Structures are given as C-alpha cells and as structure tokens.
Chain A
C-alpha cells in the first residue's frame, strides 16, 4: 500500500485522518497514486489536479523521499521507499498568510 499525506483541508473534505493508504496497481507514479486516491475518495477529484487536463493545481506541490517532484513527469516512477510504503507521498499546500 502507498501512503499519502494530504493537506488539512483535503483531509477534512475527504473525512480522513492525516494519512491515507491506497492500493496502486502497476507502476507507482504521481499519476497512478493520485488516480488511486481519487478512486477511493471521489470528492477529491479536481482538488489536487484539474479535472480534464489532470494538471497539478498551481498552489500544490508533491514531495517524495525529501525531494520536490512537482515538476517531474506525472508518470515518472516514484522511489522504491514510496512504492513500498516506507515513506509517504506528500501533497503540500503553498504556505500563505500574514
């Protein structure tokens, strides 16, 4: 199972705890993990990536194994530590405020 950490507002929306576990068939990439997240939590469709283009929403970033992978190809394979569930894929919202 792949572990995914969602930002506060998406956890509230999906009514889940800090971390969700998803079964990802085949190669583990940002695209396949998000597909699995959206399958399990349909309410999140359109909130992390746009509906039709599947483009990452501008104020969100993806981190894996300590690296910002937001600009990598969405179908690039994620590190083994993410695929094995040793570490989580993190979806992080931009920090803003005064």
Chain B
C-alpha cells in the first residue's frame, strides 16, 4: 500500500510525519536539529530516501544536512561516517560554503542605495529530477547555487545574479530571497525561479542564462508598476504535465501564464483577498489550484479569523472556500510560501502548515481537513513524498 512522508521545516527544528495511504493516523518524528531554523527540506525524486535540509541560525550561519535513510539519521554532506572513512580527499566542512562567483557586485538596498550581495541562508532546495547527487539551492541574497556531489560542495550559477537587471533587485521585508525553483520534467534545462522582490526568471540552458518573465505583473508599490523587475513574487507553481501554464501568488494578485511566463494575467477573481504566500496545483487536475489568502501585507493573518483554503477548478477566477475541519473562528495565523504541497495519491492529498504550528492534511483534494500536528513551532515549509 502506498504511504506518504511529510517533511516539515519549522523555526525550531524539523519534523518527519508518516502515514499510510489513508492519511489519517500519523506518526511524528522529531525535532531534528532542535533549536535551528529549518527553512526547507526536500527529497530526491530519484532516491526517495535521500532528503536534503536547509538548517540555519543567525548565530552560526548556514548548514546543509542530508539523510540517506528517509530522515532517520542525518549528516552534513561530506562528514558522514562512510564518507569520512572513504579517504578519497572528499571536501570536508564545505557543505555550508556558499560563495558568490566572481565579483560580488551590488543590488539596491531598501533606501535605494547600492548594497553588496551578502549570503545569508538557503531558502529552498530543489533536487534534480534525474540525478540523486544533483540539487539546486535558492539563497538570500538572491542567487542560485548547484551541488553535483549530493550537497558536499556548491557552485553558483551566476548568470542569474549577474542578469542585466540584478543591480536593480531590492529586498522585500523578508529579505531578498530566491524561494522557488521549478524544473520542467520534459526538459530539465528549462528552469523557473522566483525572487522577492525581483520577480520571475526563466532559463533554457540549465541556469547559465536567464530571461526576466514578468510581463503583465503590476505592482502598485513600485515607481513604475509594470517594470521589468521589482515585483514581489511570493510563489509560483505548475502541474508537471503542463509546464507552460504557471500560477503565481504575488504580493498582491493571483496570476496565471499560459506561455511559460512570457505573459501573465490576473485570476484573483472572487477571492476575499488576493494577498497570500503559497500556491499549488492538484496532482491530477492541472486546472485545479489552491491558495490560502491572508488579509494584507500589513495584517499577515487570515481574513475574519477563519482559516480557509481556496480552490479553483477552473484555473483561477472562480474560487471556492474549503473549510471542513479547519478553524472557522478566532484563527489569526499565516501560511508561508513554502508551506503548502500536494501528494500524488488518488485522491490527491493537500497539505499546509501555519505560523501557529499546525500542519493540516486533506486526503480528498481539499474537501475535508484534519490536523497532522497542532503544536509545532512556526511552520516554514511543508513537502510531501508519495512512497510505494
């Protein structure tokens, strides 16, 4: 029977939750890396027992952790017992070394002045779809790194940071982070990334060169609301079978593109608020999309004290609230950009975590919800693996 493994990153550690295909009885293991911020964990689709984790701290900086046994044990890549005894001069203590390539240069600071690029942390890890040793890292200050040795060493794909518009990128309130990486299953050299607050970019050559893909985005807080870059894109998502159709939750506005990001149009429709962070697509229905609106950029909590996931079965514009099993009074939590995901079981499971420490699962595409966990630290990210 199929089962699922949910990887939860929180402000104070990582948790691994498992259940069978019914997704009703959960076993929770953790915290791993107690006291550290776990921005993201994601497993290799090629080797499901290989999980990468981004562990960070304002005191001690960035760490990369890797498990090769499905989250039971963890090591910083290059320092595991087998790797240390291999004696093949593998780099040690470099799995947390993220050094920008070449001249660092500067981007625009909050006050508009030039500010040097400074590495702060890894926001998102995206394992290769075909090579278990290859993984991308989206970092703050915004750049894309790649490891080809299972996380032991990292190199920057500097064509993104040195894009002609790079000097104009500016941090949002959460920092200038590269938080989303999408890889086209049909052509792994085709990659999309999203950066707050620069926008969306697409590469067709494995990350060497990039094109800004923000036409149609309108951000009223910018001096030129339709500028090529500067948009605070919170998250993008697609269905793997239909990568030309992209969905975006922007700072304000839910957007859609039908041409791989070349042009965007708004599909916020009847949402109670078009501000939010996460967005995801049903595993079997490419036109079924999920968002969790929050009130505004000043009020980072859900409207009316009600925790509602909104689902569109029409690829946007027409949205229905999903509430069964979710708190419908006195709820003032937020759902962060990497804290929503879907499994590939039939029915499709939908998952999300809150800054209040709850992780919810719907085993039926959003119709009914129940809590996997209710009292974790603030949830930063949720990923799910469907295991056979």
Determine the distance from Cα of A45 to Cα of B37 in the docked complex, in whole angstroms.
19
List the A side residues contacting B78 at CB < 8 Å.
Answer: 42
A43 CB–B CB distance under 8 Å: yes
Determine the distance from Cα of A12 to Cα of B323 in the docked complex, in whole angstroms.
41
Task: Say yes or no: A45 contacts B97, CB within 8 Å.
Answer: yes
Task: Say yes or no: A43 contacts B35, CB within 8 Å.
Answer: no
List the B side residues contacting A59 at CB < 8 Å.
Answer: 58-59
Task: Say yes or no: A46 contacts B59, CB within 8 Å.
Answer: no
B102 CB to closest chain A CB (Å) equals 13
Interface residues as binary, B95-136 with A (CB distance below 8 Å gives 1, 0 otherwise): 011010000000000000000000000000000000000000
Q: Tell me which of B35, B79, B92 contacts A9 (CB under 8 A).
A: B35
Q: Tell me which of A42, A52, A57 contacts B59 (CB under 8 A).
A: A57
Q: Tell me which of B34, B57, B94 contacts A45 (CB under 8 A).
A: B94
Given contacts A9-B35, A52-B99, contact A45 B61 (CB under 8 A): no
List the A side residues contacting B99 at CB < 8 Å.
Answer: 51-52
List the A side residues contacting B35 at CB < 8 Å.
Answer: 8-9
B198 CB to closest chain A CB (Å) equals 25
Which chain B residue has the least Cβ–Cβ distance from A38?
Answer: B93
Looking at chain B's contact residues, the main secondary structure is: loop
Which chain B residue has the least Cβ–Cβ distance from A7?
Answer: B59
List the B side residues contacting A43 at CB < 8 Å.
Answer: 63, 76, 79, 93
Q: Tell me which of B36, B59, B62, B79 contacts A93 (CB under 8 A).
A: B59
Which chain A residue has the least Cβ–Cβ distance from B35?
Answer: A9
Number of interface residues of B (CB under 8 A): 19
A10 CB–B CB distance under 8 Å: yes
Q: Tell me which of B36, B57, B62, B79 contacts A42 (CB under 8 A).
A: B79
List the B side residues contacting A10 at CB < 8 Å.
Answer: 60
Task: Say yes or no: A57 contacts B79, CB within 8 Å.
Answer: no
List the A side residues contacting B62 at CB < 8 Å.
Answer: 46
A47 CB–B CB distance under 8 Å: yes
A74 CB–B CB distance under 8 Å: no
A13 CB–B CB distance under 8 Å: yes
List the B side residues contacting A38 at CB < 8 Å.
Answer: 93
B170 CB to closest chain A CB (Å) equals 23
B242-281 contacts to A, CB under 8 A, are none
List the A side residues contacting B93 at CB < 8 Å.
Answer: 38, 42-46
Task: Say yes or no: B96 contacts A46, CB within 8 Å.
Answer: yes
Interface residues as binary, B28-50 with A (CB distance below 8 Å gives 1, 0 otherwise): 00000011100000000000000
A60 CB–B CB distance under 8 Å: yes
List the A side residues contacting B79 at CB < 8 Å.
Answer: 42-43
15 contacts between A and B (CB under 8 A): A8-B35, A9-B59, A10-B60, A12-B34, A13-B60, A13-B76, A43-B93, A45-B93, A46-B62, A46-B96, A47-B63, A47-B96, A51-B94, A51-B99, A57-B61
| Shortest Cβ-Cβ A-B pairs, 9 listed | A42-B93, A45-B93, A42-B92, A47-B60, A59-B59, A51-B97, A46-B96, A93-B59, A43-B76
